[in-house]
Copies of this chain bind each other. A is one copy, B any other.
Amino acid sequence: MIGQQIVLAARPEGEPKESDFALVETEVPTPGPGEILVRALYVSVDPYQRGRMSEARSYAKSVALGEVMTSQTVGEVIESDDDRFAPGDVVVGQLGWQEYAVARGSALRRVPPSVPPTLALGVLGATGLTAYFGLFEVGRPVPGDTVVVSGAAGAVGQVVGQLARLAGCRTVGIAGGPDKLADLTGEYGYDVGIDYKADDVNGALKAACPDGVDVYFDNVGGELSDLVLRRLALHARVVVCGQVSQYNNQTPELGPRLLGLLIVHRARIEGFLVTDYAPRFGEAIPRLAAWLAAGKLRYREDVTDGLENAPRAFIGMLRGENRGKALVRVAEPG
């Protein structure tokens, strides 16, 4: 059997180009003892993947040239030599941008039939879990806090704002462009939305956060974050989830040195990775599912059709062109 894959063809310099990727067709491996063959339904497109395309030292090894691009994937079990999985089961795992993948059961999580498969990549998957653990474990919001989110209409940001409201906080979302701005307050329940492309962000932040920023959940970094860091409240917590404005830089961008502000505000800046919380995913997923079922978590997905378009979807996502969680549909459930 032949399957399609998107492999890394060249290491992007600056902004990735479609030619940095290649669509290849290869023989699908036969699953060995204990292994499972999965057919992809949707593959995910997320900012962290930019880091995996680079050889810079990071928390995970780089994707090699010619190797399948890594991604979260939700798919259907085709063949299984593991009693825990049967053909037809929907599963999610780090299976990459490819039609077929062979994995061990320990690398897969089952998606219940009641859950739409795309949610396993979104609110009930890595992005929802990132929002949950980043906000609650690192940001530690308490009722009455003002929580500012950058990339607030993105896959993670849209969930963060709603979780912060559930925690009794005032929420201020920052995103780019009129569509996303409308979604911030219209869909994701932000108390205030700021369009960084159109608004005077500094003035808008000042007006929206008269008592300062208690929690800043940062997906973006760069100059936008400089403005927020200058408005921290006493004992503020800054959650560094992503720095998407910086990911295409070959060398670090220069910015003002602001660490002295942490003394003034007795504030904390902390980075985290959702995978460190894997032992606790089982705590978070039922809560997220319950909030979804109760209509307390709304979400938007931005679906691109066809595995061959994953690179384009990825490049567009880095530019902020997606409206909601960026996904690529590979196949319909069989």
Contact = CB atoms under 8 A, between A and B. Distances in A.
Counting every copy of the chain, the complex holds 2
B253 A256 contact: yes
A239 to B, nearest CB: 10
Given A256-B253, A256-B254, A260-B221, A268 B266 contact: no
A221 B258 CA distance: 10
Name the residue among A242, A243, A265 with the largest chain B CB count within 10 angstroms: A243
A275 B317 CA distance: 46
Q: How large is the interface on A (under 10, 10 to 19, 20 to 34, 35 or more residues)?
A: 35 or more
A246 B264 CA distance: 14
A84 interface: no
B270 A57 contact: no
A259 B266 CA distance: 17
Interface of A: 57-59, 218, 221-222, 225, 240-243, 246, 251-273, 276
8 contacts: A218-B259, A252-B257, A261-B271, A266-B271, A267-B270, A267-B271, A268-B270, A269-B269
Closest 4 CB pairs of A and B: A262-B271, A252-B256, A263-B271, A268-B270
